[in-house]
């Protein structure tokens, strides 16, 4: 079970990173941290972010501002290499705070219309207390139930269904699951 201190570290790390990113590009926080920030007690060492596709030059500015804010990319410092060898090929890059091994932020570019749609329909979740953009609750549930399917992901989906019961829309979840089949499976 995560302590309040661990939760505060993750919250602070996420907020700090997102505030830098937000100056340059639209993004969404996805996956396990959505459930964790919504009150689910489970461990994680990374936070996943999908950012709109940006050209290499714009990514260079983002990377520079992240470094100025105290983050470092564990795959390297050369923006052209990070972009050409990772991001362009839909692979994530990981950032940490300088001098700390954890937590990590995994940053990926939107890879298809499904990701672009998630970014377009991003939301802020007041329950989390965080001023960051998340993918919608219905999208998170659909991905966890249809694509990811690990025990941890299915528990996350159940938690989100309970906590956000008034926002759960089965028709929307099923529509997203169909898109997952079209674009990812």
pLDDT digits (tens, 9 = 90+) for 101-139: 999 999 999 999 999 999 999 999 999 999 999 999 999
Cβ partners under 8 Å of residue 128, min gap 6: 37, 38, 134
Give the separation between CA 49 and CA 27, rounded to whole angstroms. Answer: 7
Q: How many domains does the chain have?
A: 1
Are 134 and 163 spatial neighbours (Cβ–Cβ below 8 Å)?
Answer: no
Helix, strand, or coil (residue 162): helix
Domain that holds residue 81: 4-137
* 30 in a structural domain: yes
Query: Is 33 within the bounds of a domain?
Result: yes
The CATH number of the domain holding residue 101 is 3.10.450
Q: Are strands 93-97 and 27-30 parallel, antiparallel or unpaired?
A: unpaired
| Domain contains 85 | yes
Per-residue pLDDT tens over the stretch 38-88:
999 887 889 999 999 999 999 999 999 999 999 999 999 999 999 999 999
Whether residue 151 is contained in a domain is answered as no
Task: Determine the Cα–Cα distance for residues 38 and 48; give it in Å rounded to an integer.
Answer: 15
Q: Domain for residue 184, yes or no? A: no
Position 49 in a domain: yes
């Amino acid at each position: 079970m995560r302590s309040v201190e661990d939760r505060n570290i993750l919250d602070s790390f996420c907020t700090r990173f997102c505030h830098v990113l937000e100056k340059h590009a639209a993004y969404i926080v996805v996956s396990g941290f959505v459930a964790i920030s919504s009150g689910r007690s489970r461990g994680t060492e990374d936070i996943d972010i999908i950012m709109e596709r940006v050209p290499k030059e714009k990514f260079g500015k983002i990377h520079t501002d992240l470094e100025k804010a105290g983050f470092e990319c564990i795959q390297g410092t050369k923006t052209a290499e990070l972009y050409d060898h990772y991001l362009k090929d839909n692979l994530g890059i990981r950032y940490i705070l300088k001098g700390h091994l954890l937590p990590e932020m995994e940053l990926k570019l939107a890879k298809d219309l499904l990701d672009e749609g998630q970014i377009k329909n991003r939301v802020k979740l007041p329950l989390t207390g965080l001023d960051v953009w998340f993918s919608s609750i219905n999208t998170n549930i659909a991905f966890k139930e249809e694509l990811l399917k690990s025990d941890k992901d299915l528990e996350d989906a159940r938690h989100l269904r309970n906590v956000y019961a008034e926002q759960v829309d089965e028709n929307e979840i099923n529509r997203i699951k169909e898109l997952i089949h079209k674009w990812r499976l």
